[in-house]
Amino acid sequence: MAIEQKNEPSLRPFTDPVLSEEDIEVPDDYRMVPVRFRGSGGEYFRIWIVNLLLSIVTLGVYSAWAKVRSKRYFFGNTYIEDDAFEYHATPISILKGRAISVVILLLVYLSAYISGYLQAAFLGLIVLISPWVICNSLRFNSRYTSFRNVRFLFAGRVRRAYLILFGIPLIPVGIAGVVALGSWLENSSVGAETLSLTVTLGFVGAYLLFPLIQQRFTKFRINHQHYGQLALNTRVESGHYYFVYLKMILWSALAYGLLAGLVFVIALVVGKPLQNLANPGVAGSISPAFYLVSFLPLIVLGMWFRAYMECKIRNYVFDHSKVGTHVSLRSALKISRLMLIYLGNLVLLIVTLGLAYPWTKVRLQKYRLETIQLKVWGSLDHVVGQAESSRSSFGEELGEAFDVDLDLGF
């Protein structure tokens, strides 16, 4: 089997050979391989409570070890057939990142006592380096993740991340700024309200580009990911993202409109007796309990829309992604099921004052993972064999100190 070096510019940092579709003959027969999660809330509770107590006692220093223990538990209980994933990061590596983060936050806090401009400069610097941090976080987490002793690798360039995260939204903002500046130079008597409106429209335009940014960054994140020699690939389109967001906006407008109408009707029909029922001791007032009950529909709707977005985007991304040429991904999240998990987890956390957190996390993780299936052509052993390769050392120093958890489109 011939293996050629792939010459795509976007994969230039990745120095190992990558198998292309021309190198592999894909068989006609396939089978569905499910992902299984074998962890339990009780097991994770023992890990979590020790992590929590030791992190408190050590003033947060142990949190790096806690992070590694938690990740190793979840990775080690995620199975494809009879093999689990592994997480290889060391606590010292993560502690470096935590120390850098603490120093940066401390500088931001102390700068407020010196000058508001200095604090704004520090905050601007944090925003400015965020794409660099995100790229190194992706590189870090990929580098220390493996399946069947084959490691993952992220080879995306920081420059590309800046173009997606900063370049796209700056287009409408920049156009609005140029228009505002040109209008002012042409006629210095132009009112501040007009200039402000022009710039505001630019930011609105940037906000409307968010689905495009999410789609582009999802492609960037997946298409520069490798499992050994095998490249991951996704073919998501921005039109689908806009369609999902448009439907969510329409559903939101309808749902919140109906809710507002219902509240208005209740106020007209019940009126002051409702207030008296809410707080009979004080005429014309509303008790905190009444506000809490009134906000419950808003909480339920918020959970539903969150579940809707996650299911629609995640299923779409997985259903249009492949690993090499022999494995396609499938996701079957259900909106109603996910919303019930969100609501159940919220109730558990409130009732137990947060002590049920391990059960809620395991419950959600188990559902997300076990709705994933791999559509495998041929043998999974053959796929892993194709993936085996030496790992590139690119970015090991840069990625050493960053372990930020990301959820940027899945």
pLDDT band at 313 (very low <50, low <70, confident <90, very high): very high
The answer, yes or no, to whether residue 115 has pLDDT greater than 60, is yes
- Cβ–Cβ under 8 Å, residues 181 and 233: no
Average pLDDT, the chain: 81
**Lowest-confidence region among 21-25, 134-138, 321-325:** 21-25
- Give the separation between CA 333 and CA 335, rounded to whole angstroms: 7
What are the φ and ψ backbone dihedral angles of 294, each rounded to 5 degrees? -65, -30
Distance CA(328)–CA(373), nearest Å, equals 9
Q: What is the pLDDT of residue 268?
A: 64
Question: Which tens digit of pLDDT belongs to each residue from 57-114?
Answer: 998 899 999 999 999 999 999 999 989 999 999 898 888 888 888 888 888 888 888 8
**Residue-wise pLDDT tens digits, 86-101:** 999 989 888 888 888 8
User: Taking the complete model, does pTM exceed 0.85, yes or no?
Assistant: no
Decide: 1 and 23 in contact? Cβ < 8 Å: yes
pLDDT digits (tens, 9 = 90+) for 3-30: 433 333 333 333 333 444 444 445 567 8
- Range 396-406 average pLDDT: 47
Contact 204, 227 (CB under 8 A): no
- 232: tokens are 């991951």
